[in-house]
Copies of this chain bind each other. A is one copy, B any other.
């Protein structure tokens, strides 16, 4: 369709998606604070550096390669499209122009990449991590996007795969890559005692971790409502579903941890809120308010048991990324097959989930998509991390791991407290903080 450049609704759509994309980019700050807060102080600079590079490397690689694999198929390499700037977006059955579509999608790619940072925390070589970032934003994530949002086979199934904002396409891609990375690199030194039982290595700052949770919560209101890709009357309803699921996830995770570990655990509550958000990402449009609460609440419960289960199984995921993004991503996708409410006035297509009398068709499709992405990402990420390991670029030396990665990988400590004194000269120069010139 041809849309005049002064069409008010078209401009409104573009401005709305622009604002939502900014909120999604803000999630990088949330991931950085969450991951930093839930890990130890001695590797904190390395953590935030990885988030910074996921965004920076991710945007460039996605512009040059990833976006084209995801949407234009043929048109590989070079972002010549950035010249014109006025063409409709590749998948334009809506009024978005190409620049804003790329801007929004690039923010998603950066998010998918940075999910893995936490699972590999405190023991990964920086150069190896950079290599991973290039491949997930340039190849692995774009292929999955092409399957669904690029109009690929998942979108062409008899009953089309329903993943509104990416419980599977975005979050589970990051989550399953995190799972493979954590397995292949192995647990941190000291995570498991001589008896093989896991020990708690508490994160160094709950304020930073919960700040990260709040920032991610805010960013999700760009992630889900923005995925409507239009400024229309459905946007607020999608936002309400998102808020209800997040709230239910936090409350249920708190209650579950209270029962399981006798105290309401703060990091579990925070991860529960995120689990609720991931769980509603696929169904933010097709679920009603009741379904959103149910999807989020179950997501919150899943997070607690998944985190404890993976820990017992010997998978050391310092921040719970696999549970939050992988397991809850899968749950949220399947939840659409159970809870989609096609009877509600807002659902034109009228596809319902099993519990709303829609039969098993949608549920089957959701299972197919969930499993297909799981298999593809596990294989692709498995090969990637194995190759990085074979190259000797995956794990740092035990000495460096024990000392912390900040000095070993980046040459300066992440923290350096010199509180001064009223009595004279204080010189607080860490061994490594020598002149760099």
Contacts and interface: CB of A to CB of B under 8 A. Distances in A.
Contacts of A260: 436
Interface stretch (A69-77, A156-164, A367-375, A405-413): A405-413
A402 B426 CA distance: 7
Given A29-B215, A42-B418, A425-B190, A200 B53 contact: no
Interface string A202-243: 111111101101110110010001000001111111011001
Interface in A237-280: 237, 239-240, 243-244, 246-248, 250-251, 254, 260-267, 269-270, 273
A393 interface: no
A236 B107 CA distance: 13
A263 B411 contact: yes
A9 interface: yes
A376 interface: no
- Majority secondary structure, A binding face: helix
A412 B208 contact: no
Contact of A345 (B85, B204, B206): B85
A437 B46 CA distance: 29
A232 B97 CA distance: 11
A171 to B, nearest CB: 20
Give the interface size bracket for A toward B.
35 or more
Interface stretch (A13-21, A144-152, A177-185, A330-338): A13-21
A99 B237 contact: yes
Contact of A235 (B15, B269, B411): B15
Contact of A214 (B21, B28, B290): B28
B56 A200 contact: no
Given A207-B33, A233-B11, A236-B18, A84 B431 contact: no
B82 A240 contact: yes
Given A49-B264, A210-B32, A416 B235 contact: no
